Structure 1
């Protein structure tokens, strides 16, 4: 049977009437907000290099950094020793040493998150792990690279794009429609130890205008009381939630929160089932930031932007602020140390009037940038990177901020597809 897939243009044509959304400018009283301390602009010299492909995901488990993506070769920091590592590898956070962790996966790794007891959860497009059938989702022992005994969960088809652990629960987002024959289109909650699907959590995502559901990214608040999901959907049960949905996890069963936005109803260019790309909560959980693609610019649309929303607002929620790139994609966001770090293949920030160009007030921030969490304006931090397709992953560590991408120049130095910006002393 042919799946019916239509563009967001058709989605918007069917949309319920809504007020035109316009970009929010920082309020004058916020312009004097306190300075924000960022990480250093000079990357550490001891991280390893990935010699081909691209990084899609990073996870830090103790002193071990796990890197996932679409690559086959890695090398040590001085490029003297190469290692075959297909789709997944690990290195020591403090020395950069490439570790023996080398599981065999037959597909791309799109998502990672730390698991219990020295393990890591891995999501992606793979169908086998170490020769055993395991579609899209696995829990691996970092000491051996083997699957952890007792965790048994597989998606029916598609991929896993978002993973998050909170307490004893593993939240999983992607383009699947079921896990272990339990219907869960795009989003599920599993027992983190057994992989059993939680029967009480059913997000009931739907997208009748598109014909399929795809969750692009998920994030759980630090308190574990809210889950944010973004992607190709327009309904949560009977409630309208276009591309962004908040869930209240405090009840049993969890339910859709009284939180919705029409910021992502307006269209970007033709051909996107979703233009959402990344989401992260602030360390205190009071707000979240969503980043998007869309190949379009304009003050009345949220394409190619970073936007802040308040977590515990209710009803129709508008962005507290929004920062435009002027038509370049953002793929990743990480809020740490008081700054909002964003990455993609952007050339500028503060650029609502640019259209593939630098408009009035635009600042150059190629590939990676930081935004003030209160004003929503670009911070002075500007290490630069070669843009390529873009930054796909960040990970905070005790030593600084890890960045994963598809290019080999970071902070005006050679760093093959991964690097670490150290904490400022």
Structure 2
């Protein structure tokens, strides 16, 4: 897969010169004093993480990761039967920072108490990037591993979520023409699970329902048995970083750093027909907030539950609300340093989730969130214009319709490497889970790679 973009910092003189220009041009910004209208304010979860009994994960094994500069030990979360499954690049299960067991890459915890589930002990030889649970109760595990429980299962496997044993009723073997096969993203919708990664062929299915389909980086497999669809055949020039299939069943969103889709120039966000993977006509190209030297990219995308909007993350610190029909730009947020501050702050949005009309978006950002900010001269400094700004520390909450920032949600999450949160997930009890480079709260409480926020 394509490496996650990291900027080369500007020199102090360059930052200072451009910051002065930004400050001058940003005279239209009105500051932080305005109130934020909030249709969904009453539905926001509490900012204080719920107690998990001190349980979590520690360690960071990057030997199997294709991203040399990626330093987040939790990248995947899923739920089944009162358990939360945690996947990533971690090495051990711990309690209050003290290692309790070697359990690399995948572990299970009690949803209510947070206690580790020691009966779930699968063995993988590489990191986990995404998790999904089928209606039949199989735990689909995707990532950059080659073997599971001692047998070959490159990049994708179905496990029994109770025991961790491989489930032979669901089979899909992924391969790649050259290089290493891997999966970064999955999305289960209806009868299909969409799988994005470094993949050029999939052989899957069981019994007489088996097929081999060749393609390029994005495939659709039967939820029932893993058989690939020959009808859905998009071709992405690089692996998508996230896919999101609409519950309407008509389209699939792919976000990433690709340059072409189906041979047509396309970057940041592709909207594909769920029928055959062709590009949906009549939608606008998503514009980046800043043209990086390494090229534009997007790390997350989500269609809202009411299907009115698409929430996307154009490159460099930006979160945008787009109209679903044509992807016309409606509203935007940007993370950066406050006006006049020449020390860059903020960071890219990396994960999105929605609950009760509230969109939660996570980033490696610990300074300010600017409303109605579309562009910037220097990523990390104040944008060229805005309507208001307020503090953000790792995760922000936004009204799904008005896209106003909901300042009542003020979590404080910090990590060891500054990589921030990479996964947001809402469980069946309505609690929001965050996973990533998360080691402690602002108050100093230990967090082992993930945190839970509830309404009470």
TM-score tier, shorter chain, comes to 0.7 to 0.9
Q: What secondary structure sits across from 2:452 in the alignment?
A: strand
8 A Cα contact 2:213 2:229, kept in partner:
no
Q: 1:278-323 CA deviation, whole Å, 9 max, x = no partner?
A: 112222233221225x5xxxxxxxx221111222x13xx3221111
Alignment of 1:163 with 2:186, yes or no, is yes
Alignment of 1:392 with 2:405, yes or no, is no
Q: CA 1:110 to 1:4, structure 2 compared with 1: closer, same or farther past 3 Å?
A: closer
Q: Which residue pairs with 1:92 in the alignment?
A: 110
Q: CA deviation at 1:254?
A: 5.5
Alignment of 1:372 with 2:379, yes or no, is no
Deviates further, 382-391 or 403-412: 403-412
**How many residues are matched?**
378
After superposition, where does 1:123-138 map in structure 2 within 5 Å? 123-138=142-157
Q: Which residue pairs with 2:332 in the alignment?
A: 322
Q: CA 1:383 to 1:265, structure 2 compared with 1: closer, same or farther past 3 Å?
A: closer
Q: Which residue pairs with 1:420 in the alignment?
A: 452
Q: What secondary structure sits across from 1:392 in the alignment?
A: strand
Q: CA 1:366 to 1:31, structure 2 compared with 1: closer, same or farther past 3 Å?
A: closer
8 A Cα contact 1:42 1:411, kept in partner:
no
Q: Which residue pairs with 1:82 in the alignment?
A: 100
Gaps of 5+ in 2: 6-28, 30-34, 61-72, 204-211, 337-345
8 A Cα contact 2:357 2:401, kept in partner:
no
8 A Cα contact 1:291 1:333, kept in partner:
no
Q: Which residue pairs with 1:356 in the alignment?
A: 380
TM-score using structure 1 length: 0.81
C-alpha distance in 2 between matches for 1:189 and 1:73:
33
Q: CA deviation at 1:40?
A: 0.6
8 A Cα contact 2:37 2:404, kept in partner:
no
Q: 1:219-276 CA deviation, whole Å, 9 max, x = no partner?
A: 1223333211111323333544322111233x4x46432243322467632235x521
After superposition, where does 1:125-274 map in structure 2 within 5 Å? 125-156=144-175, 157-180=180-203, 182-205=213-236, 207=237, 213-249=238-274, 251=275, 253=276, 255-264=278-287, 268-272=291-295
Gaps of 5+ in 1: 8-24, 208-212, 295-302
C-alpha distance in 2 between matches for 1:114 and 1:158:
22
8 A Cα contact 1:408 1:414, kept in partner:
yes
Alignment of 1:310 with 2:335, yes or no, is no
8 A Cα contact 2:75 2:423, kept in partner:
yes
8 A Cα contact 1:203 1:255, kept in partner:
yes
Q: CA 1:266 to 1:378, structure 2 compared with 1: closer, same or farther past 3 Å?
A: closer
8 A Cα contact 2:126 2:143, kept in partner:
yes
8 A Cα contact 2:2 2:239, kept in partner:
no
C-alpha distance in 2 between matches for 1:129 and 1:222:
31
8 A Cα contact 1:310 1:320, kept in partner:
yes
Q: Which residue pairs with 1:34 in the alignment?
A: 39
C-alpha distance in 2 between matches for 1:190 and 1:234:
25
C-alpha distance in 2 between matches for 1:197 and 1:111:
19
Q: CA 1:227 to 1:407, structure 2 compared with 1: closer, same or farther past 3 Å?
A: same
